[in-house]
Structure 1
Amino acid sequence: MKDPLARATSRPPPTLGEGCVRRYDPEAMDESIGSDFSGAAELWRQLQEQPERPEKPQEK
């Protein structure tokens, strides 16, 4: 086998940058690779509307 990754069933999305600034290409992210963020904006809005929970008092 020349390329062991040729038989893999999935592949990571394309990336941009190198080293510490390497990240997935946001233009390549879609439902075909399992990343569908269509409901993210609505979820964020709902989370922002929820009242904050009071913190527990710290025990001494």
Structure 2
Amino acid sequence: MTDPLDKATSKAPATLGEGCLSRYDPEDMSPEDGTEFPGAADLWEQVKPESAEDAKST
């Protein structure tokens, strides 16, 4: 193992296209590649910035 990148534990799925049109190949992706985050809405409520109107009133 001479390439230090061979030690990586994760790898991106294959891509289609080039440059601005580059995107992940849906056929190469599995459920393991998903971005499901069921607690995202709760986390956003905790960290979201104040609205513009709230900021003006202070």
- TM-score scaled by structure 1? 0.48
Structure with the bigger percentage of helix: 2
